[in-house]
Amino acid sequence: MTNRRALLGGAAILGSLGFARAAWSRWEAVAAVPHDMRSWQLYLPLEFSSTLMLRLLRLLPPPDPADAIVPGVDVDKRSAPGPDGQGPVEVYVYDTPGRQRPAGALLWIHGGGYVAGDPITSHRVCSGIAGQLGIVVINVGYRLAPEHPFPAGLDDCYAALRWLHERADDLGVDVGRIAVGGESAGGGLAAALAQLAYDRAEVPVCLQLLVYPMLDDRTVLDQTRPKTLVWSPTSNRFGWTAYLGHPPRLREDRPYAVPARRDDLNGLPPAWIGVGDLDLFHDEDVAYAERLQAAGVDCQVEVVSGMYHGAYGMAPLDSPTVNAFRVSAVQALDRALNDQG
């Protein structure tokens, strides 16, 4: 009994020391973030490290939808026909009464590492863009991994894009002015969707708006990656493994599974890519942007010093730095959808 108590006591001490080291490391990491971007969420040591942890995190209540809708914007929940043999895809439509018709449209894809998230978490972003630019925004509720690995989520997004094109007249949308966009895993899906739409040549896309997109599973294979805020290497490994159906490896031959693995980027739609230099995805995002530019694709890159992953939705609403980042993204979208020359 004495030995057992000693072992338990030693384990408790070691556990406390481990937690203290982790907490101190996190405080040091947060110190690199400018004050205007700091959020209480940065201090939480949350990681997607197991299916059990994912289930627990999914139990967290979503924000109140009523508090997130920008005044003056109407939101309508609809169902789009799903991929062949699958159920319907849930979409939210954001529209502003009295806007010009037809107008441009944005198909938005929420983040969550391919394993979490919900369209409701993007209500503020989507309604804000719809109201500010006088466009229609479609927010996709795609299927999540690991229950639904690739290509389920991408298939749902493509089905929603086709629905948007087919319902363009009813929605008051110009089919020549439709953009796709998203943040984090949603940005990765948007990049893959732009590739898929280009190859199938059924539904044109005029812009890909990629907010710190999750583009390259090979980042998991780089063991030199430092611990990062919000989205860590551990979470990244879990998310990619769940989505791909296997751990990331040197070869991944399935088209559209990993956007950054596509060899030929010629002909893809113009892009806006934004990321912070404290984001785990910084290197892969900048590399993809440079490859797009080398392929002749018009690509604007916005790199923000001191910005972490998820800042678009987590930073204080009055943060000048993140607001400038948001403005850059919205201006790129405005030029693509509303600037008729």
| Active-site annotation holds for 235 | no
CA distance 136 to 338: 12
Amino acid identity at 9: G
What's the one-letter identity of residue 108? W
Q: Which entry of 155, 216, 217, 279 is annotated as an active-site residue?
A: 279
Amino acid at 136: V
Of 39, 127, 184, 235, the catalytic one is 184
Instruction: Indicate which residue of 123, 156, 309, 319 is catalytic.
Output: 309
Q: H-type helices in 151-295, by residue range? A: 152-166, 168-171, 185-200, 233-244, 282-294
Q: DSSP string covering 303-341, please?
A: EETTPPTTHHHHS-TT-HHHHHHHHHHHHHHHHHHH---
Q: What are phi and psi of 181, to 5 degrees?
A: -160, 170
Name the phi and psi angles at 100, rounded to 5: -70, 140
22 near 306, Cβ under 8 Å?
Answer: no
Distance CA 193, CA 215 (A): 12
Amino acid at 154: L
Residue 35 falls in the annotated catalytic set: no
User: In what order do the strands lie in the sheet containing 89-95?
Assistant: 74-80, 89-95, 136-141, 103-109, 173-183, 207-211, 271-276, 299-304
**CA 287 – CA 301 distance, rounded (Å):** 10
Tell me whether residue 309 is one of the annotated catalytic residues: yes
Is there a contact between 175 and 268 (Cβ–Cβ < 8 Å)? Answer: no
Active-site residues, by number, are 184, 279, 309
